[in-house]
């Protein structure tokens, strides 16, 4: 099966606070998903990592076959 998004063990910390603690996600190509959960559940942090706006502190993810860390877009400004 081909996946549009794959994330395994995503971790993100802000100081002592753990925002993500091992998030796993697989979205098959051609599917549409919604990300739901209570405030503080890590939805925005996960999406920001997948969009290469944040670097994860652990785990790995790819979107459309591109590694979100290795292929991270560099924005100057």
Q: What are the pLDDT digits (tens) for 49-68? A: 999 999 999 999 999 999 99
Q: How confident is the model at residue 72 (pLDDT cuts 50, 70, 90)?
A: low
Task: Spell out the domains of the chain, with CATH numbers in brackets.
Answer: 3-67 (3.40.50.300)
The per-residue pLDDT for range 4-13, each reduced to its tens digit, is 999 999 999 9
Task: Give SS3 for 47.
Answer: helix
Measured between alpha carbons, how far is 72 from 77 in angstroms, rounded to an integer?
A: 16
Chain position carrying tokens 């996600």: 25
Tell me what pLDDT residue 70 has.
Answer: 85
At residue 42, does pLDDT exceed 80? yes
Contact 8, 56 (CB under 8 A): no
């Amino acid at each position: 099966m081909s996946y549009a998004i794959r994330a395994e063990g995503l971790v993100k910390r802000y100081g002592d606070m753990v925002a993500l603690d091992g998030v796993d996600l697989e979205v098959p190509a051609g599917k549409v998903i919604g990300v739901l959960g209570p405030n503080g559940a890590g939805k925005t942090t996960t999406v920001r990592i997948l969009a290469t706006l944040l670097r994860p502190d652990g785990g790995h993810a790819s979107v459309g076959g591109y590694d979100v860390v290795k292929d991270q877009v560099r924005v100057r400004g």
